[in-house]
Amino acid sequence: MRIATWNVNSITARLPRLLAWLESSGTDVLCLQEAKTTAEQFPVDALRELGYESAVNATGRWNGVALLSRVGLEDVVKGLPGGPGYEGVEEPRAVSATCGPVRVWSVYVPNGREVGHPHYEYKLQWFEALRAAVAQDAAGGRPFAVLGDYNVAPTDDDVWDLTVFEGSTHVTPAEREALAALRGTGLQDVVPRPLKYDHPYTYWDYRQLAFPKNRGMRIDLVYGNEPFAKAVTDAYVDREERKGKGASDHAPVVVDLDV
């Protein structure tokens, strides 16, 4: 079984690449983030033609998450139970479902903007709500994983140059402590480092030739419980999908399971 996560940075802009990638990659379940569309405009029919069911939590221009599955899609939950709102709005940042033998979440953690900003506090509150929401499944006996754009680099090695991010979000102790608390529910990072290269970054800014210079960050993560982690047979970042015209600024992260 092949499960992946990908921040597509607008499914409308990325649809041809997405459809081609699904066909070529053999992915069974894909967690999408930053759909940047409404549920009504989501390309359900085009995906169904490829054999994928869709569970979508999206409301407009910003944010938006989805789960695509060709192995079943049951017990769908849209939104983060008990999650905070921002400026009075519950943003569409989470969706979960059972896909065959595995329970998965697709999450798009708030960016945080800058340290001390209300959005930064919202980010930490969102992490705490996520920890509480997944704790029972994380400690259970069924393979379970939370995949997505976490907007946090877990360690100093997960950014190309720590000095560039000094004093910024994504690398602060509070954000990394929130990640550690999430792992404390029984989850672990199932994508090993190093992979086939020293720095398996997943995100590169569009500006200043960041991708050709490999000035990236590893912020797209796959956190699985013990049954999920034990089933992992391979994992990789599909850097090729970050190349070329019309690419997202994130690359897909792919995990193979023997379940």
Share of the chain above pLDDT 70, in %: 97
Query: Could you report the per-residue pLDDT of 114-157, keeping only the tens digit for each?
Result: 999 999 999 999 999 999 999 999 999 999 999 999 999 999 99
- pLDDT of 52 > 60? The answer is yes
| Residue 61: pLDDT band with limits 50, 70, 90 | confident
CA separation, residue 192 to residues 163, 182, 225 (Å): 24, 18, 15
Q: Tell me the average pLDDT across 29-53.
A: 98
Q: How far apart are CA 46 and CA 33, in angstroms?
A: 18
Query: Could you report the per-residue pLDDT of 194-236, keeping only the tens digit for each?
Result: 555 566 899 999 999 999 999 999 999 999 999 999 999 999 9
What phi-psi label fits residue 138: left (phi over 0), alpha (psi between -120 and 50 degrees) or beta?
A: alpha
Quick one: pLDDT at residue 38? 97
Number of residues written out for the chain: 259
Residues noted as catalytic: 108, 149, 250
Q: Which of 245, 247, 251, 257 is nearest to 104 (CA)?
A: 257
* Domains of the chain and CATH, by start: 73-248 (3.60.10.10)
Query: Could you report the per-residue pLDDT of 4-24, keeping only the tens digit for each?
Result: 999 999 999 999 999 999 999
Binding residues for Mg(2+): 7, 34, 149, 151, 249-250
User: CB of 171 within 8 A of CB of 159?
Assistant: yes
**Residue 194 in tokens:** 């190093």
What phi-psi label fits residue 240: left (phi over 0), alpha (psi between -120 and 50 degrees) or beta?
A: alpha
Query: Could you report the per-residue pLDDT of 91-119, keeping only the tens digit for each?
Result: 999 999 999 999 999 999 999 999 999 99
State the first-to-last Cα distance of the chain, in angstroms, to the nearest integer: 7
Quick one: pLDDT at residue 200? 83
Binding residues: 7, 34, 149, 151, 249-250
**Residue 161 in tokens:** 């140059």
Quick one: pLDDT at residue 126? 98
